[in-house]
């Protein structure tokens, strides 16, 4: 009998801070000790069985639970309404709900559909699918009209994303260390968790109109014709409408690069996410429960266009400063409210489609690590039953009963594209051979100055040059060069972004974007809530493509230039270049 792979052993507990959109029950230690241990035997992909313990489960109003990593078992079902009236009411019920909090969550293992029956379609071609648009409106209307205590209700479905992505649940390490806010972003959990979330949302909608073939439209923003918000979401009388989008951007083409006055760059010109990169490059790095940071690394699928579109569509005027920090209701532009906008689900359907194309047509290899494959979550299905699902259950859309109208067999317009511009301002690094960085230069509206590198606080408009960063030689042909930042600190309540370019004079680096061969990538974070004033995450940027494009593949060192696009980011530790397996 197969068992879950080795991994971290974590617990997720609801955040106890007030004014949460997801009020949660708590459980006394004596009650937890007395709780009976039970198990759930699930069959994994490939026919093997594995056993899941149900232990110390918390399932009050939120339906959140203990998480065991790699079997990270957290139930999706939360209290959605964050109005002042309902916040107070929910807080008053929290103690009462504690008495009934302890109960097993997952009543069943996941059973995939028996056949492929759903075809997701591009939203910008809605005029070719008018009957499907009407089905979506009808289904969403019914979802919004469900009783508030029904886990299929639209507001409660939207609150699932907030619960998992906005710091409402905390981690507790096996040794009692940690207590970090949990987030499915910034790690290899991003793609599979969102696929699970979209899957159950879509299945619930189909069941409400008694149509098993119902499929979501996807926002095809990687095609030039799909770079604007699809018109089907603009009708203010439609259930697909959201009033909290940025009015300046509703009828404009998306700027993936975040700066609102920047040049428009179609997806086909972006380096991020197109090539058959290793799994950690595309999907993100291993989730880490370390005390000083609570993430892995963002993959290209998350950090590029995905985050840019969230920020582009959110309305910044919907944020207000309160005594306990910034409170935002800008829907797509803030993690805590993003899923309240129906376009969120079409946006993530396209991110899911790109994962599918990457893992099929582009021959990308998913992780084979048991920690990843056996990570599990619990969702409410169309019958209001709690179902346990694992990452390995959600690797193949065909086995989940759906495909995309523009599927992996069709060559995408961006596959053969690449950065086609070069900077006129080039520099040449001198190899130090030491592999360390002892100083850096800042350029701005003053002469370039030299500084020692101990936590480096970035300032927008002042580009930072790390001169002559040594490159280690790969020990095997399958290794790739990666620029590694062990710790990047920023406020989770604000947008955070910096770009990285290679071998360009720092005073010119701010003019570069993904159309340029010297552009190596970006770190980007969407504003979120959570229980911390700062977050610390690692960042890794693969360099092989850019080094080949600029003719530096054989150079012993390169000059790295950091271009801050927002305020408040600190580079805590010295960056370095490593040779890593292209997993």
Give residue-wise pLDDT tens across range 382-441: 999 888 888 999 999 999 999 998 765 677 777 777 788 899 888 888 765 444 556 778
Minimal CA–CA distance to 490: which of 443, 528, 547, 449? 528
pLDDT band at 59 (very low <50, low <70, confident <90, very high): very low
The pLDDT tens digits for 172-197 are 544 444 556 678 888 899 999 999 99
pLDDT top residue among 137 and 165: 137
The pLDDT tens digits for 289-322 are 554 555 678 888 888 788 888 988 887 766 666 5
Query: For the chain, what are the domain ranges?
Result: 11-404, 439-581
Residue-averaged pLDDT of the chain: 75
| Cα–Cα distance measured from residue 351 to residue 347, given in angstroms and rounded to the nearest whole number | 7
Class of domain 439-581 (CATH, top level):
mainly beta
| Cα–Cα distance measured from residue 557 to residue 470, given in angstroms and rounded to the nearest whole number | 4
Greatest mean pLDDT among 166-180, 203-217, 496-510? 203-217
> How high is the pLDDT of residue 295?
66
Sign of the CA dihedral with 52 first, then 55, 59, and 62 last: negative
Does the pLDDT value for residue 203 go beyond 50? yes
Q: What's the mean pLDDT in 320-349?
A: 80
Give the global pTM: 0.81
Greatest mean pLDDT among 83-97, 206-220, 383-397? 206-220
- Does residue 110 have a cis peptide bond before it, meaning omega lies within 30 degrees of 0? no
Count the Cβ atoms, other than its own, within 10 Å of residue 31. 14
| Cα–Cα distance measured from residue 387 to residue 40, given in angstroms and rounded to the nearest whole number | 11
Strands 439-443 and 463-470 turn out to be antiparallel
> How high is the pLDDT of residue 269?
55
> How high is the pLDDT of residue 23?
27
> How high is the pLDDT of residue 574?
87
> How high is the pLDDT of residue 68?
38
Q: What's the mean pLDDT in 546-574?
A: 92
| Cα–Cα distance measured from residue 305 to residue 258, given in angstroms and rounded to the nearest whole number | 9
Q: What's the mean pLDDT in 120-125?
A: 95
- Strand, helix or coil at 433? coil
Question: 439-581: same fold as 11-404?
Answer: no
Any idea which architecture 11-404 has in CATH?
Answer: Orthogonal Bundle (1.10)
* Percent of residues, the chain, with pLDDT higher than 70: 67
Does the pLDDT value for residue 169 go beyond 60? yes
386 close to 254: Cβ distance less than 8 angstroms: no
Least confident interval from 68-77, 280-289, 524-533: 68-77
Q: What's the mean pLDDT in 237-264?
A: 79
Does the pLDDT value for residue 483 go beyond 60? yes
């Amino acid at each position: 009998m197969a068992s879950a792979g080795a991994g971290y052993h974590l617990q997720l507990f609801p955040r106890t801070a007030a004014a949460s959109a997801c009020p949660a029950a708590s459980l006394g230690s004596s009650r937890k000790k007395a709780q009976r241990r039970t198990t759930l035997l699930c069959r994994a992909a490939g026919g093997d069985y594995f056993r899941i313990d149900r232990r110390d489960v918390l399932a009050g109003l939120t339906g959140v639970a203990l998480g065991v990593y790699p079997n990270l078992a957290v139930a999706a079902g939360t209290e959605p309404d964050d109005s002042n009236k309902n916040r107070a009411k929910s807080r008053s019920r929290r103690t009462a709900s504690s008495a009934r909090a302890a109960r097993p969550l997952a009543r069943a293992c996941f059973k995939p559909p028996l056949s492929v029956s759903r075809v997701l379609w591009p939203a910008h071609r809605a005029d070719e699918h008018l009957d499907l648009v009407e089905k979506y409106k009808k289904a969403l209307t019914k979802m919004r009209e469900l009783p508030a205590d029904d886990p299929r209700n639209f507001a409660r479905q939207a609150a699932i994303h907030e619960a998992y992505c906005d710091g409402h649940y905390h981690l507790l390490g096996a040794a009692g260390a940690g207590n970090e806010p949990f987030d499915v972003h910034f790690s290899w959990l991003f793609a599979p968790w969102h696929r699970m979330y979209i899957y159950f949302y879509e299945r619930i909608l189909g069941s409400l109109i008694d149509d098993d073939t119902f499929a979501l439209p996807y926002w095809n923003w990687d095609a030039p014709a799909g770079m604007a918000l699809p018109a089907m979401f603009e009708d203010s009388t439609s259930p697909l409408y959201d009033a909290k989008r940025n009015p300046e951007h509703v009828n404009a083409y998306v700027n993936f690069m975040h700066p609102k006055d920047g040049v428009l760059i179609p997806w086909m010109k972006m380096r991020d996410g197109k090539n058959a990169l290793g799994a950690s490059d595309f999907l993100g790095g291993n989730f880490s429960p370390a005390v000083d940071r609570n993430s892995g690394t963002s993959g290209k699928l998350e950090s590029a266009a995905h985050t840019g579109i969230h920020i582009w569509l959110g309305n910044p005027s919907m944020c207000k400063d309160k005594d306990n920090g910034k409170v935002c209701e800008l829907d797509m532009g803030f993690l805590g409210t993003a899923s309240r906008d129906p376009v969120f689900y079409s946006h993530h359907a396209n991110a899911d489609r790109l994962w599918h194309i990457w893992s099929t047509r582009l021959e990308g290899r998913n992780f084979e690590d048991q920690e990843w494959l056996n990570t599990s979550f619990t969702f409410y299905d169309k019958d209001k039953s709690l179902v346990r699902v694992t990452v390995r259950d959600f690797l193949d859309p065909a086995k989940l009963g759906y495909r995309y109208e523009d599927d992996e067999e069709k060559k995408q317009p961006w596959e053969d594209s690449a950065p086609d511009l070069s900077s006129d301002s080039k520099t040449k690094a001198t190899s130090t051979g030491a592999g360390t960085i002892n100083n850096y230069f800042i350029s701005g509206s003053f002469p370039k100055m030299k500084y020692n590198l101990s936590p480096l606080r970035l300032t927008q408009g002042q580009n930072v040059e790390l001169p002559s960063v040594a490159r280690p030689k790969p020990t095997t042909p399958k290794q790739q060069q990666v620029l590694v930042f062990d710790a990047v600190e920023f406020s989770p309540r604000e947008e955070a972004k910096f770009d990285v370019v290679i071998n360009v004079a720092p005073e010119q680096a701010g003019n570069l974007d993904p159309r340029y061969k010297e552009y190596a990538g970006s770190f980007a974070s969407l504003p979120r809530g959570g229980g911390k004033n700062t977050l610390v995450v690692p960042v890794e940027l693969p360099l092989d493509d850019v080094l080949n494009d600029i003719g530096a593949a054989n150079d012993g060192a390169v000059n790295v230039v950091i271009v801050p696009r927002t305020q408040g980011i600190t580079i805590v530790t010295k960056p370095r270049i490593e040779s890593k397996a292209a997993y």
